[in-house]
Amino acid sequence: MKNFSFYNPTKVLFGKGEVDKVGKLVKEYGNTVLLVYGKSSIKRSGLYDKVVSLLEKEDIKIIDFGGIDPNPRIESIREGGDLCKKHNVDLVLAVGGGSTIDASKGIASAALYDGDPWDFYSYKVESKGALPIASILTLAATGSEMNAGTVVTNFATKDKNGWGSPFTNPKFSILDPVNTFTVSPHQTGCGIVDALTHVYEFYFSNEDAYLNDRVCEGIMKTIIHYGPKAIENPEDYTARANLMFGATLALNGVTGFAKDFEGFNHSTEHVLSAFYDIAHADGLSILAPHWMEYILSDKTVNKFYEFAVNVWGVHPNKDKMKVAKEGIKRVFTYYKSLNMPLYLTDLDITNPPLEEILDKAVKGETIGRFVALTKDDVKNILTKAL
């Protein structure tokens, strides 16, 4: 096992009715809040009005900032940061899914920075602080509610970069599964794939970390089991609750103990999103199964054998390669059952500028830690995924 340090300062309030506490919780940080949200879903569900009422009950001044895109733009970070400075905001409250929470982290950092916040995402400077951040989660997917990460797109430069700092963990996050009842089947499927891929990035590793692997397998099995139940019956509280907490655990640090982040799937998908503005999980749904097929070999077969047997329930067999291939086949089958895309053409991407994509995806000689892949390798995977 590798050495590691772990600290997660986010307070999680999980379960029905926990949103009722938001006014008093925000009040602990001040009297002015920037309320950040997406398009119109929280207004249709009634959550927006409820949150506003709870904040107003505590005499909290609300600076309204809606319209965050599914792939949050750097322009939103700039605008939100300026609003925080103008109105002396005390806390940034995200009500939504991962994109809204990610944007809020960037906004909270921009509020205490005099330069362009893209400097953080292009790794030119390190943050020296951020306003307090909090979230009310409405989509089980990214884990952003309990980690420091923030991913933002700059379409002007075709860059989608991730970044985080010791200041960008939410102070508290409210996770009420009821707030995910209105999530569409496709968005639910996206959340399932996103959460699973977060676990893949740590599970597929050359490090010997037995306990960590069993934790990863438990999270994956939970998400795989309850995902279809949530799609079939959107108001199945047990399914939504297990899916929500599973997605949170997938990227709050516990899956990464003693492991390196593998990296191929997220890094490559970020490039695709920056070029085509596709849903993040749509890209992951295409990349991960093809990546698995491509890297399966005599050197990696033991890991894929464990994955097939322990996660997908494939019957053990002396022919480990056969079992491993069956496990990967079940990933394809499961994603298909969720109506998730499996090929780039499923998203009407027919003639991607592969060389330009490769230049942005593979910035060194190779990408990926479980199996180091060259540009030619990545080109082969993308070509197979067309």
What's the pLDDT at 27?
A: 98
First to last CA, the chain: 38
- Cα(374)–Cα(174) distance, rounded to whole angstroms? 42
The residues, ordered by sequence, that sit 6+ positions from 279 with a Cβ below 8 Å of its Cβ are: 70, 190
Sort strands 172-175 and 11-14 into parallel, antiparallel or unpaired: parallel
Residue keyed to tokens 């330069």: 115
Q: Decide: helix, strand or coil at residue 261.
A: coil
Please give the mean pLDDT across all residues of the chain: 97
Q: pLDDT tens across 237-256, in order?
A: 999 999 999 999 999 999 99
Q: Decide: helix, strand or coil at residue 172.
A: strand
Q: For residue 116, which of 150, 81, 87, 86 has the smallest C-alpha distance?
A: 81
What's the pLDDT at 119?
A: 98
Report all structural domains of the chain as residue ranges with CATH numbers, in order of start.
Answer: 11-179 (3.40.50.1970), 185-384 (1.20.1090.10)
- Cα(243)–Cα(234) distance, rounded to whole angstroms? 12
Q: What is the pTM of this model?
A: 0.97
Q: Which residues does the chain have with pLDDT short of 50?
A: none
What's the pLDDT at 136?
A: 98
CB atoms within 10 A of CB 180: 28
